[in-house]
Structure 1
Amino acid sequence: MSHHAPLGAPERRRAALSPSRAKDFKQCPLLFRLRMVDRLDEPGSLATHRGTLVHAVLERLYDLPAGERTVSAALGMLPGLWEAHREGNPAVMGLFDSPGRVEAWLEEVRGLIVSYFRLENPARLEPAERELFVQARTGSGLLLRGFIDRLDVAGDGAVRVVDYKTGRSPGPRFVEEALFQMRFYALVLRLMRGRAPRRLQLVYLKDGRVLTHDPRVAELEALAADLERLWDEVEECARSGRFAPRRSRLCDWCSFQSLCPLFGGEPPPAPEEGAARLLAARRAA
C-alpha cells in the first residue's frame, strides 16, 4: 500500500468518503444520495444532540490542568455548553414533548459524563490530539476523511485511537460493525503517517464497557480494497443516476421516509453538480 502525505485544506471541498457515509451507502444507496449528493437537512434526534453535548464536555475537560479534571468540573461545564448548543441549534427544543422532559434529558447527559470517570482517569491522560480532522488518499486517489475524538501517543510513539460512544456497547454479533469506523480511522492514519495505530478503543458510556482492538496491517489493506470497491458502486450509481432504496430494520429510524419510494414517496431530482463531485473524487490520484 502506498503512503501519502496529509492533504491541505482545499481538499476539504472535494467529495470524500467518511465512515458514516460508507455505512450509509452499504445500508441504503438512496440514503447516501440524499445526505451526500442532495445534502438535505435532517432534524436530528435527542440521541444525536446528547452525543454532541457529551463529546463537547469530554473534549474541553482536557483543556484543564490534570489535577482539575474532576467529575464536578466536567458537570460544571454542562450548563454553558448546553446554552451554546441550544443557541446554535434552536430546533432541538422542538424535539422535547414537554418542558419537563428537558431536565430529565439533561440528567441522562450528566449520567453519561459521570460514567466516563468510572472508565478512565483523565488526570492520568495527556491526549496528543482531540477532535482531530484526518484525511488521506488511497492508491486510486479516493479521498478518505473523518474526525477522531482522541489520539493518545505513548512514550515509544505507539498511537491509540479513542472514540466515545453515548449508546450501549454492541452484542457479539455486531462487534465487527462497531469496529468498522475505528479501522477506517486506522487506515487513514496509516496512509497519512506510514504507521498504523497500535490500539483502537471504543468507550461506551451508557453501559460502562470498553471495546479494544489491535489492528493488523493485512486487515487495513483489506479494508482499503473494500472501500475502493464500494466507491466503484457509488460511481456506477452516479453515472446511472439511480441510487436505489434498500429496505431494512433501520428504515424505522430514517428521516427521509417521505422521499422514499418504498414508503410511497418520491425523491427530488438529484442535483447534477452533486453527482459530478462523486465522479471527480478520484481524479487527483
Structure 2
Amino acid sequence: MSPSRAGDFKQCPLLYRFRAVDRLPEVPTRAQVRGTVVHAVLEDLFGLPAGERTPEVAKNLLGPAWERVREERPEFAGLFDSADDPELGEWLLSAEGLLDGYFELEDPRRFEPDARELLVESELPSGVLLRGYVDRVDVAPTGEIRVVDYKTGAAPRLVGEAKALFQMKFYALVLWKLRGVVPRQLRLMYLADKQALAYTPDEAELTRFERTLEAIWEAILRAGRTGDFRPNPSRLCDYCDHKAFCPAFDGTPPPYPGWPEPDASVETPLDRVD
C-alpha cells in the first residue's frame, strides 16, 4: 500500500478501484508533468557539490531534466507539438518560477541531505507492505531526522493540508520502523507560493496512524473480495478522469476484473506532485 493509493481509498473507494484494480489510464496535465520535472531538477541539484547549488545552475538543469523525463515516460511527449512550440518555452519559464520559490525557502548549499528520492518499505504485523518514495531525508549531527516533501502547487486549504499530512505521516511511520527513530520534523515545501509547513509527530500518534492504515487495508480487502467499491462524491470529482465510468454521474464502471494479488501499488511520479 502506498500513501497515494491509501489516500485514494479514503477519498473515494471507487477511485481506488479505477486506479489500483482496473488501472484505467489517466491523462497527465502540464502542471503535473512540470511538477515531475521540478522534482527531478531538485534531485539532480543535490547531486552537485554544495557550492554549485545556485538558482542559475538549477534553471540550467531544467532542459536536461525535461528531456530525461520525456524519454522515461513516452506519454509525456505529446504535451507539446514540437521542441519549437512556443508554449513549451512558457511552460519551462513557469518551472523556473517554481525553482525561484524553492530558493526563497531554503539555501541548499548549507547542508547535505541523507537521502533523496528514497524508496522506503516496511511490513506491518498484519502483513501489509507499506511502500513509498520520500523526496528528501535530512539527518542532523545529533541524529534527528527531517522528512521533506516538495509540492509544486500552492499551500492547500484544510482538506488538502490533511491529505498532505496523511502522506507525510505514512513516510514518518515507515522511517520509524526502518530506523528506529521517530522523525523530528515533517516539512512540506509549497513552491508556488513560497510557503513551508512543518509538523512534529510523536510515537503515540504514529502508533495510532499505524492502526488507521491497518483499518484502511482491511476495508480495501473487504471491498476487493466483493467488488463493492462505492463512489464518494465530493468537490474533488471535478478533477477526476473517470467520471464517465462513475455511477454518481450516471456512468457505468467496467466489469469488475476480480481482486488481483495484493499489490503495494508503488506511487508514480505524478502521484507525488500534488
What's the TM-score once normalised by structure 2's chain length? 0.90
Greater Cα offset, 40-49 or 246-255: 40-49
Report what 1:53 is aligned to. Answer: 37
C-alpha separation in 2, matches of 1:258 and 1:175: 28
Read off the aligned partner of 2:215 and give its amino acid letter. R
Alpha-carbon RMSD across the aligned residues, in angstroms, is: 1.9
Structure 2 gaps of 5+ residues are 265-274
Which of 61, 73, 82 lines up with 1:77 in the alignment?
Answer: 61
C-alpha separation in 2, matches of 1:81 and 1:92: 13
Once the two structures are superposed, residues 52-92 of structure 1 have per-residue CA deviations (whole angstroms, 9 ceiling, x without a partner) of 00000000001111111111111111111112223344443
Deviation at 1:97, TM superposition (A): 9.3
Alignment of 1:102 with 2:88, yes or no, is: yes
Q: Report the 3-state secondary structure (helix = DSSP H, G, I; strand = E; otherwise coil) of the residue aligned with 1:201.
A: strand
Which of 147, 150, 157 lines up with 1:161 in the alignment?
Answer: 147
Report what 1:62 is aligned to. Answer: 46
Report what 1:3 is aligned to. Answer: none
Which of 178, 190, 197 lines up with 2:164 in the alignment?
Answer: 178
Q: Report the 3-state secondary structure (helix = DSSP H, G, I; strand = E; otherwise coil) of the residue aligned with 2:61.
A: helix
Structure 1 gaps of 5+ residues are 1-16
Report what 1:32 is aligned to. Answer: 16
Deviation at 1:269, TM superposition (A): 2.0
Read off the aligned partner of 1:18 and give its amino acid letter. S
Deviation at 1:136, TM superposition (A): 0.5
Q: Report the 3-state secondary structure (helix = DSSP H, G, I; strand = E; otherwise coil) of the residue aligned with 2:261.
A: helix
Deviation at 1:220, TM superposition (A): 0.5
Report what 2:196 is aligned to. Answer: 210
Q: Would you say the 8 A contact 2:21–2:260 is kept in 1? A: no
C-alpha separation in 2, matches of 1:74 and 1:221: 39
Q: Report the 3-state secondary structure (helix = DSSP H, G, I; strand = E; otherwise coil) of the residue aligned with 1:277.
A: coil
Q: Report the 3-state secondary structure (helix = DSSP H, G, I; strand = E; otherwise coil) of the residue aligned with 1:245.
A: coil
Determine what percentage of the aligned residue pairs are the same residue: 51
Alignment of 1:257 with 2:257, yes or no, is: no
Alignment of 1:151 with 2:126, yes or no, is: no
Deviation at 1:158, TM superposition (A): 1.0
| C-alpha spacing 1:252/1:174, structure 2 compared with 1 (3 Å) | closer
Report what 1:115 is aligned to. Answer: 101
Report what 1:271 is aligned to. Answer: 257
C-alpha separation in 1, matches of 2:217 and 2:33: 30
Read off the aligned partner of 1:160 and give its amino acid letter. R
Deviation at 1:95, TM superposition (A): 4.3
What's the TM-score once normalised by structure 1's chain length? 0.86
Deviation at 1:198, TM superposition (A): 1.0
Task: Report the count of equivalent residues.
Answer: 262
C-alpha separation in 1, matches of 2:37 and 2:19: 23
Which of 222, 236, 260 lines up with 2:222 in the alignment?
Answer: 236
